[in-house]
Amino acid sequence: MIAIQTNKDVIFNSTRGIIKMEIDLCQNKPNQKIYEMRIIDSISKVLDQEVTTKDEEGNDVKETIQVRKTFDTKPPRFKTMTYKELDALAEILNIDITQGNFRESINELFRRGLLAITQKECIDGISGEVGRGLYFTEAQDWEIVKEEQQA
C-alpha cells in the first residue's frame, strides 16, 4: 500500500475523521518518460461495532470490535511526475532506485515522496494560509500508513 494519513481527526467535507491519501494506481509510461499516479482521498473513523458470535456450546455471545468505516471519498485526482523529477526526489530522500529490488525501492520512493510533497505543500501554504496545506492540515499532521493500519 502506498498511502499517507493524518495522525489526528481533521475535517473533510464536513466530516471529522482520519484522512487517507492513497496512490491506488501508478502507471509507468516509458515512451513519455513519466509515471502517472491516481490518488484517492478518503475519510474514515474507527468505531465500536457490536457483533454476535457463537461460543463453544453454540450460544450467542455479543462482543464489541473496532472497525474502520469510510464515510466519504473524493473523486480521484491525477499526478504526473517525470523520470527526472523522480530521480531528484530519490536523491533528496536518499533512496537508491538503481540497486536491488526495484519494485520495493520505487514503492518506497512514492510512499515517502507523497508524504514529503504533502508536508511541503503544508509548509508552503497551498490552502491560502501559510503553514496549512490540503484540508487545512499542518506538515506534522501527516504520516505514512503502516501495514497494520491498512484495514
Q: Indicate the Cα dihedral angle 128, 131, 135, 141, nearest 10°.
A: 180
Write the burial class of residue 143 (CB in 10 Å: 0-12 exposed, 13-18 middle, 19+ buried).
middle
The answer to whether the CB of 2 falls within 8 A of the CB of 26 is yes
Which is higher by pLDDT, 67 or 13?
67
Residue 80 grid cell: 504526473
Distance CA 89, CA 113 (A): 7
In 14-94, which ranges are E strands? 15-29, 34-54, 60-73, 77-82
62-103 pLDDT, tens digit each: 999 999 899 999 999 999 999 999 999 999 999 988 766 777
pLDDT of residue 100: 66
CA distances from 65 to 47, 52, 100 (A): 8, 10, 41
Q: Taking residues 38-45, report their average pLDDT.
A: 95
**Residue (of 21, 49, 35, 52) closest to 116 by Cα position:** 21
Is residue 40 predicted with pLDDT exceeding 60?
yes
Is residue 52 predicted with pLDDT exceeding 60?
yes
**Residue (of 22, 12, 11) closest to 115 by Cα position:** 22
96-139 pLDDT, tens digit each: 887 667 778 889 999 999 999 999 999 998 877 888 888 889 99
